[in-house]
Structure 1
Amino acid sequence: MKLTILGCSGSLGAPGNPASGYLLSPDDGSSVIVDLGPGTLAALQEIQNPADAHVLFSHLHADHCLDFPSLMVWRRFHPELKATQRHRCLGPAHTPVHLGRLTADEPDDVDDFSDTLEFTAWRHGHTETVGGVEVTPFTASHPGEAYALRMQDPVSGKVVAYSGDSADHPNIVAAARGADLFLCEAGWGPTSEGKIMGMHMSGEEAGRIAAAAGVKRLGLVHIQPWTDKEATLAAARTEFDGEVILGEPGMVFDV
């Protein structure tokens, strides 16, 4: 199983780094897009046909989903590479309405994208098979309906965990338990002291969760463009003795 970072800038894109988006490539040859923030579709085009993938959304804030309308254009209208099958789309319950409004032609319309994607709403703790990976959502602590995702290869047992956007919460530890790779947001930088509650984590908290969950590798992502990345990395390392990596666009992890 392979994980490619399409973009991992926090809250908005940064120069040379799109907002949140990841490509999971299970060993069976399928492809799974995990979030699709601004700029990530262009990065995906450099790797594969964007129409040849399932789509997962941790939540529907703009920095995690705003390239969806462009994906619909590609899937429906590309002269050579448009979708030839329906893929699965999983996300919060309001995904068809929220994203349908983004792709509709009129202000009050909701585009029905079921012609090209089959939607299923997340249910906390309920595992879904998506391509060649088993995905289990865990309710996260973030404004709106949001989830952390545990993605497991059913043959090898290897696990990639993704916090999505979330403040520190026991569910994040559960999602990451024993993960081979844990991608954890650190949007507040080195520390969450003085920051808004119930929204994001810091490098310090990401390291603490990684230690509590017993993960093998920790990747810090969703760091905002104005934040000191090196200080965030150092803070994570004070709490976690394992390997800690600053996420960067184009990084590929073999799991």
Structure 2
Amino acid sequence: MSELTVLGSCGAWPEPGRACAGFLLSCNGFRVVLDLGYGAASRLFTHCAAADVDAVVVTHEHPDHCADVSALGRAWHYTVQGEQDENRLPLHCTPGTLRRLEALEPRPHPASIFAVHELGAPRDLGPFRLTSSLLPHHVPSHGIRLSAPGLTVAYTGDSGPSPLVTELARDADLLICDATLQSAPVDGPRRVMTAAEAGRHAAAAGSRRLLLTHFWPGSDRALSLEQAKAEYDGEVLIADEGLVVRL
């Protein structure tokens, strides 16, 4: 059985009662965390203990996507790792993410808690094949594609609209997509998306389902849903803390 659990759905900072970016993807007993921003760790621990996490993937270094990896690291260090320093939790991330974690807690150094792998080259991750691609954002940020037999999940992290998003999401069973904005800026480079743009990418990619996430605090999520549905004929879901999507 495979399922995705939403741990956090906000961008920038968490609304009351919510958390920032975070997802728990389970497939054949393998559990991988995708991002873990402000407030997401406590929600993770309502679903599984630190010892039950098999791997972590962080799209980029902004704290609304990685701050609570430090909390998971502390839990792992004190409840799992103990005196066995070689027992490290696999972490796939950008170099900037590791520097952020080090600034939060230099001792023990995060590299002594996590087995750190830089995103870039394709690799096996439990039952999945993990591929990633750099997407347009303010800092180096990777879109993530996890494929197992009969299942493909794509996750943009934060991204502006780009043909690269369409390729990332090509024929995915589920596209988890940035829907930060409800209207597109007229000028300047694009570093995050609207819900309508998320819908267009899902349609162009032939994704089977679309999960909108990373909402700017205070956004009307019902409006975002309408905007995406106007561009995409498939099922559109709104990320909500605790939502479980069967895959």
More helix by share: 2
Equivalent-residue separation in structure 2 for 1:197 and 1:223 (angstroms): 19
The alpha-carbon deviation at position 117 of structure 1 amounts to 1.5
Q: Could you say which residue in structure 2 is the equivalent of 1:41? A: 41
The alpha-carbon deviation at position 132 of structure 1 amounts to 2.1
Question: Are the aligned partners of 1:41 and 1:50 in contact in 2 as well (CA < 8 Å)?
Answer: no
The alpha-carbon deviation at position 88 of structure 1 amounts to 1.1
> More displaced, 178-187 or 62-71?
62-71
More strand by share: 2
The alpha-carbon deviation at position 113 of structure 1 amounts to 2.5
The alpha-carbon deviation at position 97 of structure 1 amounts to 2.5
Q: Could you say which residue in structure 1 is the equivalent of 2:115? A: 118
The alpha-carbon deviation at position 205 of structure 1 amounts to 0.3
> Which of 72, 82, 95 lines up with 1:93 in the alignment?
95
SS of residue paired to 1:51: helix
Q: Which amino acid aligns with 1:33?
A: V
Deviations 1:45-96 (A, max 9, x none): 1111123321110001010011122222211113xx5577322111113333
Question: Are the aligned partners of 1:51 and 1:82 in contact in 2 as well (CA < 8 Å)?
Answer: no
The alpha-carbon deviation at position 15 of structure 1 amounts to 1.5
The number of aligned residues is: 242
Equivalent-residue separation in structure 1 for 2:72 and 2:185 (angstroms): 38
Q: Which amino acid aligns with 1:90?
A: H
Matches within 5 A, 1:1-255: 1-27=2-28, 29-53=29-53, 54-78=55-79, 85-104=87-106, 112-123=109-120, 126-153=121-148, 155-156=149-150, 158-189=151-182, 191-194=183-186, 197-255=189-247
Question: Are the aligned partners of 1:6 and 1:249 in contact in 2 as well (CA < 8 Å)?
Answer: yes
Equivalent-residue separation in structure 2 for 1:142 and 1:247 (angstroms): 21
Question: Are the aligned partners of 2:178 and 2:194 in contact in 1 as well (CA < 8 Å)?
Answer: yes
Q: Structure 1 unaligned runs (5+)?
A: 106-110
Question: Are the aligned partners of 1:74 and 1:82 in contact in 2 as well (CA < 8 Å)?
Answer: no
Equivalent-residue separation in structure 1 for 2:109 and 2:81 (angstroms): 17
Question: Are the aligned partners of 1:96 and 1:112 in contact in 2 as well (CA < 8 Å)?
Answer: no
Equivalent-residue separation in structure 1 for 2:143 and 2:98 (angstroms): 20
TM-score with structure 1 length normalisation? 0.89
